[in-house]
């Protein structure tokens, strides 16, 4: 039996928390891995990020994400959707609370 990943993050930053509030049960955002996935740049800022586990996101949740991210960055939801399909959805690792699933907790031993 293969255990599935249940790693997630909770946003501690109030602005980003409001952006994702109510989309996921308990506001726990599913991530692909507890290991930071890379470094990205938004304007002059460089940041580390986790990647949203799109395989664990329903169609309804995706629509909410497209709308809210679009609103936050003044983009049409269709652009956000296209970018998410092509590149995934990075979530800044700063000010997050990481919860590691049982499967990945074995990496820490």
Does the predicted model carry a pTM greater than 0.75?
A: yes
Q: Give the pLDDT of residue 109.
A: 60
Q: Which helix (H) or strand (E) holds 47?
A: strand 45-51
Q: Tokens 């990496």 map to which residue?
A: 107
The alpha carbons of the chain give a radius of gyration, in whole angstroms, of: 14
Each of the 109 residues of the chain gets a pLDDT tens digit; together they read: 456 889 999 999 999 999 999 999 999 999 999 999 999 888 898 999 999 999 999 999 999 999 999 999 999 999 999 999 999 999 999 999 999 998 888 876 6
CA 19 from centre of chain:
11
Q: Give the pLDDT of residue 104.
A: 86
Q: Give the pLDDT of residue 51.
A: 96
């Amino acid at each position: 039996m293969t255990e599935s990943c249940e790693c997630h993050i909770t946003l501690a930053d109030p602005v980003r928390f409001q952006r994702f509030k109510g989309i996921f049960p308990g506001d726990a955002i599913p991530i692909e891995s507890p290991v930071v996935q890379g470094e990205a740049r938004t304007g002059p800022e460089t940041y580390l990020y986790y990647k949203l586990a799109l395989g664990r996101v329903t169609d309804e949740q995706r629509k909410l994400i497209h709308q809210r991210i679009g609103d936050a960055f003044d983009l049409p939801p269709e652009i956000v959707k296209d970018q998410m399909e092509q590149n995934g959805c990075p979530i800044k690792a700063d000010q997050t609370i990481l919860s590691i699933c049982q499967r990945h907790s074995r990496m820490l031993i």
